[in-house]
Chains A and B, each alone.
Chain A
Amino acid sequence: MEKFNKIIVDIFKLAPDRIKDSLRFEEIPDWDSMNFLLFIAEIENQFEVSFNMDEVIKAKSLGDIKNMLRSRDIKL
């Protein structure tokens, strides 16, 4: 859990208390296409997984990303 939140804080400069599953990407002030690519790359690196672009594009919230990790048997 801490690893996931740390990536978000590092990339989006988001206060930890604002991180919640229901947070939609467009609600994150520092969200843009480059940060999005960096975020996905960092998640893949640190959790040692690989997403396909179809599922990446469908994700709309932090909870969606967590579900993608859970579907790869990663416990959060």
Chain B
Amino acid sequence: MKNPKIIFKWEGKGFVFQDVANALKKSGIKNGDTLMVHADLGRFGKLGEITDKKEFANVFIDAFLKVIGKEGTLIVPTFTYSFCKNETYDPDNTASTVGLFTEELRKRKDAFRSIHPIFSVAAIGKRAKELTSNLSKNSFGKGSIYDKLQKIKNSKYVIFGVDYFSCTQIHYVEEMLEVPYRYVKKFEGKIRNKNKMYDDQYEYYVRDLDKETNPDFDKIEKHLLNKGFLKKIPFGSAFVSVVKISDICREAKKMFKKYPIFFLKEKNTLEFKNLPFYIGVLDSPDNKKLPLTLPFALEFNKDLDLIVQRYSKESEEILESAYKKGSSASTPLGQGSYSISRADDVLKYIIKICGSNLKNYSFLEPGCGYGYLLHRLKLLGAKKVIGCDPGTDAIKGSKEFGINIVNDFYSPGLFKEKFDVIFSFGLLEHVKNPLEILQSFKENLKEKGKIFAAVPNCQNKLKLGDASILGPEHWSFFTPETFKNILLKSGLSGVEVKLGAKDAMIYGWGEISNKNIKKKKELNQGSTEKLFYSFSKKVKNSLPLLQKRIEKLEKENKTLGLYGGGLQIIGLLNHKLEPRFFNGDTVIHGKYFPGYSNPIENPINLIKKKVDELWIMATDYDKEITDYLKKEINIPESTKIFSFKNYLENLK
């Protein structure tokens, strides 16, 4: 006689025994199945007609038993963690700590319970005795209940009402694969079995709490669902999920091999204890008493919809001191092989916005460095040009070009007058809050004044997983989309964003407007957070393999050259070898990267004094550099070229 009472109510309907049995059948449970069930009976709906715990739980247990029939077996976890709490474990009496369903099943006369003072299970059905006996003393590994279950053809995992994918079977996979974030810990204690009391020792495959080890089974649940291995059906206000244990084990192994932290929560920061601190090449290996490395953390800022460096007072103070000493992140505009063409590129856009006749325009450039762009604008007939910069270059440029450059960091109070255009080149990525500084520009602008700003385009490198963009000198890492959003958020109207030559820079501009700031719904947001996570994942995956590559070179006593940067990447690897650096930009030849004794060389030197392996680190110019080396320089065939770009693209 099955219990006819209403077990729970949901949306005006009363659910009875038969509704539970029907839901179980619908979820794919069949006669003869062996089930491991994790249940939360309080999630399906509100109180029905049953108020007695035993009666309540047993309606559900009976429904399971009816569906699996006499050939089936129903197993539940009855974990007690007794040895972890210095308590005696008694299989007949120690209560399960994992819910009413499991505790009431354990108490049934037809139930068997395993002797495990941490992770015991209880079972009813054809194989109940066999599956709860002779289990190993480890927790999830060989000989455990989970090992036995994965060998049974019709064994299934059932998540019954639990609102997350509570799947201990994954720990079996972790233990078999010996994952780096768990280890075996032994626990000792007393077991009382019937009239016998004895000391024993059991193993628990625990998380390494010194590492980032918070479990996250959402990803494996989604994977199993997407691949069609997991069936999830709604029942009352909760769900019933069923998956074959063999499918869990196979897919979990596959996903772990592909991505070793698949079962762990993604960290929302990408952190490095020692990221090379580099804001400019040096005349000598001496770093002007600045640190060679700084701790660095990258994160996604939801308010700004931007990938940013997490604020650190230490970095801020060091950067301020470095800027005052005259360091600049890149070759100043107007100097070197590439920077004149870069300046031409910027001027092309400023003229596009203002028109070719600049005589009615006054310009202010915060962070103007040497003042080369202001100088060029003056030559083009601009009415007035003024800049500000905290570095020593400001004084030099001011004298050389005869323009007014205030030797200080920008603040709106620095200038009493108002300008027609405020522009910046490579500034906004160096300030803590680009939105705030854009908004402060308005105080120095005339009515309908224009703002033009250029920032490095990080999109391609973020997509690729190229960690060379990371550096303590950058607080923000823009893509065309996020840069446009910042300009819109600052309240500018007529905002446009274009990519500069070789997509290296993003140029954006707009006009100050009295209209309200654009509402969020008008902004195109959402993809930046995904980009942050995919970038973090790729960087984490790429570094260990590069580490192996450099260790192999060291073992074989081979020489390494890095072409087009690479300081950030090499700095993140443990290495003893001294790499040589090469660059096509003549202005930096003979200069030094901080912390390295080899100067930056002309690539022509690769012929006279070859290297065994040459890493092409500039992912933006990979093909051009390779062609140049092979066709124009004719570097020796014995020099093995390693393309960092190809490596990242092919990384699984």
Contacts and interface: CB of A to CB of B under 8 A. Distances in A.
Interface of A: 32-34, 36-38, 40-41, 44, 53-54, 56-57
7 contacts: A32-B100, A32-B103, A34-B51, A34-B100, A40-B47, A53-B46, A57-B238
A32 B99 contact: yes
A57 B163 contact: yes
Interface residues of B, number: 22
B4 interface: no
B41 interface: yes
Interface of B: 8, 10, 40-43, 45-47, 51-53, 56-57, 99-101, 103, 163, 236-238
Contacts of B100: 32-34
A53 B45 CA distance: 7
Contacts of B45: 53
B163 A38 contact: no
Given A36-B42, A37-B47, A40-B46, A54 B53 contact: no
Nearest to B44: A53
Given A32-B100, A36-B42, A37-B42, A54 B237 contact: yes
Nearest to A45: B47
Contacts of A34: 41-42, 51-53, 56-57, 100
Given A32-B53, A33-B101, A38-B51, A57 B41 contact: no
Contacts of A33: 40-43, 56, 99-101
Given A32-B53, A33-B100, A34-B100, A57 B46 contact: no
A9 to B, nearest CB: 18
What are the 6 A-B residue pairs with the smallest beta carbon separation, nearest first?
A: A33-B42, A53-B237, A33-B41, A41-B47, A36-B42, A32-B100
A6 to B, nearest CB: 18
Contacts of B236: 53
Contacts of B42: 32-34, 36-37
A57 B46 CA distance: 11
Contact of B237 (A38, A44, A57): A57
A31 B41 CA distance: 12
A41 B238 CA distance: 18
Identify the interface centre among A37, A40, A41, A56: most chain B CB within 10 Å of its CB. Answer: A37
Contacts of B43: 33, 57
A38 B51 CA distance: 7
Nearest to A32: B100
A16 to B, nearest CB: 24
The prevalent SS among residues of A at the interface is helix
A57 B43 CA distance: 7
A40 B43 CA distance: 12
Nearest to B53: A34
Contacts of B47: 37-38, 40-41
A34 B41 CA distance: 8
A54 B8 CA distance: 15
A11 B10 CA distance: 22
Contacts of A44: 46
A54 B45 CA distance: 10
Given A32-B53, A32-B99, A37 B237 contact: no
B179 to A, nearest CB: 26
Contacts of B103: 32
Q: Which of A34, A41, A54, A56 has the most CB of B within 10 A?
A: A34
B341 to A, nearest CB: 57
Nearest to B54: A34
Contacts of B237: 53-54, 57
A55 to B, nearest CB: 11
B163 to A, nearest CB: 6
B616 to A, nearest CB: 52
A40 B45 CA distance: 11
A57 B53 CA distance: 20
Given A32-B99, A34-B53, A53 B41 contact: no
B8 A37 contact: yes
Nearest to A37: B47
Contacts of B40: 33
Nearest to B50: A34
Nearest to B60: A33
Given A32-B42, A33-B41, A40-B47, 10 more contacts: A32-B100, A32-B103, A33-B56, A33-B100, A34-B53, A37-B46, A38-B51, A40-B46, A56-B46, A57-B237
A37 B236 CA distance: 14
A12 B334 CA distance: 76
Contacts of A41: 46-47
A11 to B, nearest CB: 11
A12 to B, nearest CB: 13
Contacts of A54: 237
A44 B46 CA distance: 11
B25 to A, nearest CB: 23
Nearest to A34: B53
Nearest to A26: B97
Contacts of B238: 57
Contacts of A38: 47, 51
B85 to A, nearest CB: 13
B151 to A, nearest CB: 32
A43 to B, nearest CB: 11
B165 to A, nearest CB: 16
B10 A53 contact: yes
B270 to A, nearest CB: 29
Nearest to B10: A53
Contacts of A53: 10, 45-46, 236-237
A34 B99 CA distance: 10
B16 to A, nearest CB: 16
Nearest to A36: B42
A54 B51 CA distance: 22
A44 B101 CA distance: 25
A53 B43 CA distance: 8
A38 B49 CA distance: 11
Most A CB within 10 A of own CB, among B42, B53, B100, B101: B42
